[in-house]
Structure 1
Amino acid sequence: MHRRSFLAGLSAPFLLSASAGAQTVSRAQTLRVVPETLTTILDPHFTTSFTARDFSYLVFDTLFAVDDKWQVKPQMVDTWTKSADGATWTFTLRDGLTFHDGTAVTSEDCVASLRRWGARDTMGAALLKAAQTLEPVDAKTFKLVLKEPYGLVLQALSKPGAMVPMIMPKRLADTPPTRPIIDPVGSGPYSFVKEEYRPGDRIVLKRHAAYKPRSEPSVWASGAKVAHFERVELISMPDVSTQVSGLLTGEVDYLERLPPDVLPILERNRLVKVQVVSPYGYQGIMRFNHVAAPFDNVKVRRAVMQAVNQADYLAAVAVRSEFGRECRSMYGCGTTYETSAGMPAFDFEAAKREIAASGADLSKPVVILHPADAPGIAALGLVTQDLLTKLGFKVELATMDLNTFFGRRTRPEGWHIFHTTNTVPDMQTPLQNVYMGGVGAPAGFAGWPKDEEVEKLRAAFAATSSEAEAKSIAEAIHKRAAEAGFYMPLGQFVGPSAWRAELANVPVGPAMFLWGLRRAS
């Protein structure tokens, strides 16, 4: 954005129309948030979109959660036991759990929700595959019996990355996992206001009066989720200058993620605070379609990976050097299993020679899925367009909105590459990282790499309880997935958020958590 047009945007009047519901709640009791993108998928089990995950954290709750030391803490669960052989797990819910429709949360709801989540999530699928039974015992207790070793039971049930194992009423959990729920009902601190929902424009939530927070302090997704605001409005605002204007005038309270080039004007304003709240940040991803030529050829995939200079991508999404770092680990850097095993070193000229030797047909266009309304993802696509053109490919950008993009990439025809950004905690193990699955089409994740050895190794990773063995297996999986060109990491970066300075107790963590914060008196 040019400075002149940006400043012109700041001088333009900024108004948010108030709905009838908003008029019954004061502005001081309303939190207005502008997410990076506004999801139209309201189902926590249906998509890896972190905007859907962040919305879901307000509406739903989880059995367990992790704190800032990655320690697993009980959330909806009160007590649990594990048998001496590790095969039988028994969980009892805490008192007072109530869904937004007024019904009590039961063990049947939990079992049905976990089964639905496990039908779509990689860690959930591994857990259910290892399970012999998962059944209610009584209204508040359910039991998991394993038929084979699975060393990550609590880690799976507490994972903060999409798709999060959130609990919903059984009537909703019985919805086929291939169809998203459209009327979300959870037991979290806020409830969805269906009457004020404007898909793609606004999501409104109100405080769940019956919610009983835990007594422990809130740390990341764990502990007390205290709702200090009566109302939360998630608002779509694609234009950056409008976002900044709204924050400066107090029409909005919180901007999830801003491009660094607009930060100086905010950093100089005493009414605004700018801070990175997600310490691990994001990984940029270039994903190949393994079932479509020319990327059905591993030599072509590896050549493009070799041509990637991560500095070019970081310049597009991080801008400031302190916000980005080169990282060729599929698990992310700074994580337990960080490794670059199998990743090619950057060598553009060698990449051109490899493509020429591969026999790839360069006369047919390579189609890049391009969600133009998601600035971070779109910026990665533009860098790849330039890269592939320099490598001799013809390139076509298929422009669409983000929600269309999520649907389009699930179909194997009509595209060759897509980009995304995923939070690093979503990538940190070979089970959590959906892009490291080797199931292939049609059951695998979009892109559909197929590698039976990777799947065997992932099963071994899930089964082990030895940390040393887990690290060894994780490195073997990474090496094989990288050599097969499952996908190319494009660097690791953080995104600063900004909010009105009168907001206090703004949470940090791997997701946009919006409980606990309040207006300072």
Structure 2
Amino acid sequence: MHRRALVATLALPTLLSRGAAAQASRAATLRVVPETLTTIFDPHFTTSFTTRDVAYLVYDTLFAVNDRWEPKPQMVERWTESPDGRDWTFTLREGLAFHDGSPVTAEDCTASIRRWGARDSLGAFLIAATESLEPVDARSFRLRLSRPFGLVLQALAKPGAMVPMIMPKRLAETPPARPVTEPMGSGPYRFVASEYRAGDRIVFARNEAYRPRPEPSVWASGGKRPTFERIEFIALPDVSSQVSGLSTGEVDYLERVPADVLPVLERNCAVRAQVVSPFGYQGILRFNHTQAPFDDVRVRRAVMLAVKQSDYLAAVSGRAEFARDCRSMYGCGTPYETNAGMPAATDFTTAQAELRASGADLSKPVSILHPADAPGIAALGLVSQDLLTRLGFTVDMQTMDLNTFFGRRARPEGWHIFHTTNTVPDMQTPLQNAYLNGAGARGFVGWPASEAVEAGRSAFAAAADEPARKSAAEQVHRAAAEAGFYMPLGQFVAPSAWRAELNDVPTGPAMFLWNIRRGG
């Protein structure tokens, strides 16, 4: 063991006993080590996985999906739909309350939906098709569509970032371009502001007033029971410290375990390692379409042609059974999987020739945003650094932390490429996949512009049946791939690990932490 890792391991018990954590009994506290810690707690503002996971504890949703992707009511008690699909009325369950004790009202819901729709790709299509969205009374609101939109419930049940979480109206009225800084919802846990330490820990306390649904919990749907008094998200960036902490019982749950330490955990009978998200992740190489040389489609397509997915997958998955080549922007194994428009195979020699033919000035540095504290993303960046260098680019690797990364990539100047991973369920349709937004400067980071993509996404939203949706989805994929929106880097799963005395650990496309029991 390296000296640095040894020092971190020896310091672990002191680190975990800081602050008010000692006030709660160890058995009643679930200590979780997420891949990274976010400083943004607004579920409508960022696609950060940790923000999403925090949101699932603090907030609740009107609908949620089960493991068959069926939207199920969550905060909603009942709803009606007109025969033409244009008029919807939703009624909330009785007794729903925010963490400050105020009741959840229809006004809170309509304000939250509007704010989410101003930020989210799928939400934007719902809002664009909306003629009116207004409260009927304290517990009911009405949605009137101006044109066909066949995905109303699917939008309100969207499981991945950005999730349509419900917050108080006063918070939902925060301008969409500014993050909400007071995390307060009606979910099973309360954010404990007095114990929050940026970059160190996030603490949640059980919401004693929370009323779980009576149905069994399946993915994000059903009864979310806050079985622990406290949940603590703890920053332990050193993998050796994570493994040591889990082995000794100082921590309970590791969100993402590198494959090279799996053998150590698998030999430990006090620990269980398992893949909880069977669809896994897609690696993404995203171009900045506003900056030369990647404002030229020929340059983007040349880089795409040079990508060898197996190189990236080896860096992030570690085991062959955890990875698969996949060139579909929707992910493989999903209903709309297609390779339309993608390079059929890697051809490095032709890629070099196409770069020369483009006339791009490769002597000017291209900047890669490199969040070193996010191991999965950082590994992808290192592979691209080597690839671009071999192609003849001058590469400027700009190292930063993840929260700085999210801020930097939101500005069009100062970078050329970033990498990320996204859960495959968040990529599986033209409307859910934020990276398929073709609205240019009004769109998602990277800002590709394509009338063909936007027309196809509109056709998908208005489609009356599944064959029409499949046709529109293929149209979008072909146009986006040919325009070089981004390059998929393959599909992979990542195991989590937890103490063996934990039972009923949920599975699903996010890190769900309700209903977990310690012991029999």
> Common fold, TM-score beyond 0.5?
yes
For 1:279, give the aligned amino acid. Answer: P
Partner of 1:180: 179
Partner of 2:10: 12
Partner of 2:338: 339
List alignment gaps of at least 5 residues for structure 2: none
> Residues of 2 paired with 1:21 and 1:412: CA distance?
42
Partner of 2:280: 281
Partner of 2:202: 203
Within 5 A, what are the aligned runs for 1:110-149?
Answer: 110-149=109-148
Within 5 A, what are the aligned runs for 1:231-246?
Answer: 231-246=230-245
Partner of 1:250: 249
Determine if contact 1:369/1:405 at 8 Å carries over to the other structure. Answer: yes
1:9 Cα deviation (Å)?
A: 6.4
Partner of 1:367: 367
Partner of 1:56: 55
Matched, 1:490 2:489: yes
1:13 Cα deviation (Å)?
A: 4.8
Partner of 1:506: 505
Within 5 A, what are the aligned runs for 1:358-397?
Answer: 358-397=358-397
Alignment deviations for residues 285-317 of structure 1 (CA, whole Å, 9 cap, x no partner): 000000100000000000000000000000100
Determine if contact 1:31/1:232 at 8 Å carries over to the other structure. Answer: yes
Alignment deviations for residues 159-178 of structure 1 (CA, whole Å, 9 cap, x no partner): 10110000000011011111
Partner of 1:88: 87
> Residues of 2 paired with 1:484 and 1:23: CA distance?
55
> Residues of 2 paired with 1:468 and 1:519: CA distance?
47
> Residues of 2 paired with 1:375 and 1:510: CA distance?
19
Alignment deviations for residues 49-105 of structure 1 (CA, whole Å, 9 cap, x no partner): 111001100000000000001011000000000001111000000112110000110
For 2:10, give the aligned amino acid. Answer: A
Partner of 1:193: 192
Partner of 2:106: 107
Within 5 A, what are the aligned runs for 1:33-48?
Answer: 33-48=32-47
> Residues of 2 paired with 1:290 and 1:109: CA distance?
37
1:398 Cα deviation (Å)?
A: 0.5
CA RMSD of aligned residues (A): 1.2
> Residues of 1 paired with 2:108 and 2:338: CA distance?
39
1:195 Cα deviation (Å)?
A: 0.4
1:128 Cα deviation (Å)?
A: 0.6
Matched, 1:448 2:412: no
SS of the residue 1:81 aligns to: strand
SS of the residue 1:369 aligns to: strand
1:498 Cα deviation (Å)?
A: 0.5
* More displaced 10-residue stretch of structure 1: 96-105 or 4-13: 4-13
1:465 Cα deviation (Å)?
A: 2.3
1:21 Cα deviation (Å)?
A: 3.2
> Residues of 1 paired with 2:11 and 2:169: CA distance?
47
> Residues of 1 paired with 2:171 and 2:299: CA distance?
44
> Residues of 1 paired with 2:448 and 2:319: CA distance?
34
For 1:128, give the aligned amino acid. Answer: I
Determine if contact 2:189/2:226 at 8 Å carries over to the other structure. Answer: yes
1:5 Cα deviation (Å)?
A: 6.1
> Residues of 2 paired with 1:302 and 1:324: CA distance?
24
List alignment gaps of at least 5 residues for structure 1: none
> Residues of 2 paired with 1:393 and 1:26: CA distance?
56
SS of the residue 2:202 aligns to: strand
SS of the residue 1:340 aligns to: coil
Partner of 2:465: 466
Determine if contact 1:304/1:351 at 8 Å carries over to the other structure. Answer: yes
Alignment deviations for residues 267-290 of structure 1 (CA, whole Å, 9 cap, x no partner): 000000000001111000000000
Partner of 1:259: 258
Alignment deviations for residues 456-502 of structure 1 (CA, whole Å, 9 cap, x no partner): 11111001121011001101110010000000000000011000000
> Residues of 2 paired with 1:59 and 1:234: CA distance?
13
Partner of 2:398: 398
> Residues of 2 paired with 1:400 and 1:329: CA distance?
30
1:22 Cα deviation (Å)?
A: 2.2
| Percent identical residues | 70
> Residues of 1 paired with 2:253 and 2:36: CA distance?
13
TM-score, structure 1 length as denominator? 0.98
The count of residues paired between Structure 1 and Structure 2 equals: 518
SS of the residue 1:421 aligns to: strand
Partner of 1:413: 413
Matched, 1:32 2:31: yes
Determine if contact 1:9/1:242 at 8 Å carries over to the other structure. Answer: no
Determine if contact 1:9/1:245 at 8 Å carries over to the other structure. Answer: no
1:189 Cα deviation (Å)?
A: 0.2
Partner of 2:324: 325
Determine if contact 2:5/2:238 at 8 Å carries over to the other structure. Answer: no
For 1:268, give the aligned amino acid. Answer: R
SS of the residue 1:21 aligns to: helix
> Residues of 2 paired with 1:96 and 1:384: CA distance?
52
SS of the residue 1:226 aligns to: coil
Partner of 2:352: 352
SS of the residue 2:12 aligns to: coil
SS of the residue 2:336 aligns to: coil
TM-score, structure 2 length as denominator? 0.98
Determine if contact 1:9/1:241 at 8 Å carries over to the other structure. Answer: no
SS of the residue 2:245 aligns to: helix
SS of the residue 1:380 aligns to: helix
> Residues of 2 paired with 1:13 and 1:119: CA distance?
44
Partner of 1:519: 518
SS of the residue 1:57 aligns to: helix
SS of the residue 1:377 aligns to: helix
> Residues of 2 paired with 1:486 and 1:20: CA distance?
46
1:319 Cα deviation (Å)?
A: 1.1
1:6 Cα deviation (Å)?
A: 9.1
For 1:402, give the aligned amino acid. Answer: L
Alignment deviations for residues 360-402 of structure 1 (CA, whole Å, 9 cap, x no partner): 0011011100000000100000000000000011101001000
> Residues of 2 paired with 1:185 and 1:8: CA distance?
39
SS of the residue 1:383 aligns to: helix
Determine if contact 1:157/1:165 at 8 Å carries over to the other structure. Answer: yes
